[in-house]
Amino acid sequence: MKLELLPEVFEYYSFGDLHALNRQVTDMKHFVCSIPGDYSLLVAAGMPGESAGKITDFEEVESGWRCFRIRGKLLFSEIGVAADITSNLARAAISVLVISGYKTDYFFIKADDLEGAMVCLRSVGHELVP
């Protein structure tokens, strides 16, 4: 599987309610979760802290996430792709946050674990591409 490391550093924000989440206006790359009880925003902040002041009214923030995405479009009939990647990272004691888009999957790793994740993924046959 070809995996691409995105250049941005991401920050993950949690909000107390939907209204606080909806007040966020961002031109940064982002993912949103708007399910009752879980209102969160994952933004591409560039450098750590770069989104400071742009995101407001949050309850918690977790900074320093890096992202691998699967290069190319995944088919819904493909089974176990995310499980393969996450299980290998788990065996290397690397935590991962997975978000699936319509066309591909995104794997967020804490920046401190990035080198270990790259070694792990290469060792099980994944190709890291620019």
Model confidence pLDDT, tens digit, residues 75-123:
888 888 999 999 999 999 999 999 998 889 999 999 999 999 999 999 9
Distances (CA, A) of 85 to 1, 35, 68, 81: 9, 26, 11, 7
What local confidence, expressed as pLDDT, does residue 25 receive?
67
> Residue 98 is part of which domain span?
2-129
Residue 49 pLDDT > 80: no
The enclosing domain of 17 has a CATH number of 3.30.2130.10
| CA-wise closest residue to 111 among 125, 90, 94, 124 | 94
pTM for this model (two decimals): 0.86
Question: pLDDT band at residue 24, thresholds of 50, 70 and 90?
Answer: confident
* 47, pLDDT greater than 70: no
Pairing of strands 2-5, 105-110: unpaired
Q: What does pLDDT average to over the chain?
A: 89
Q: Compute the distance between CA of residue 40 and CA of residue 32 in angstroms, rounded to an integer.
A: 6
In the chain, the number of structural domains is 1
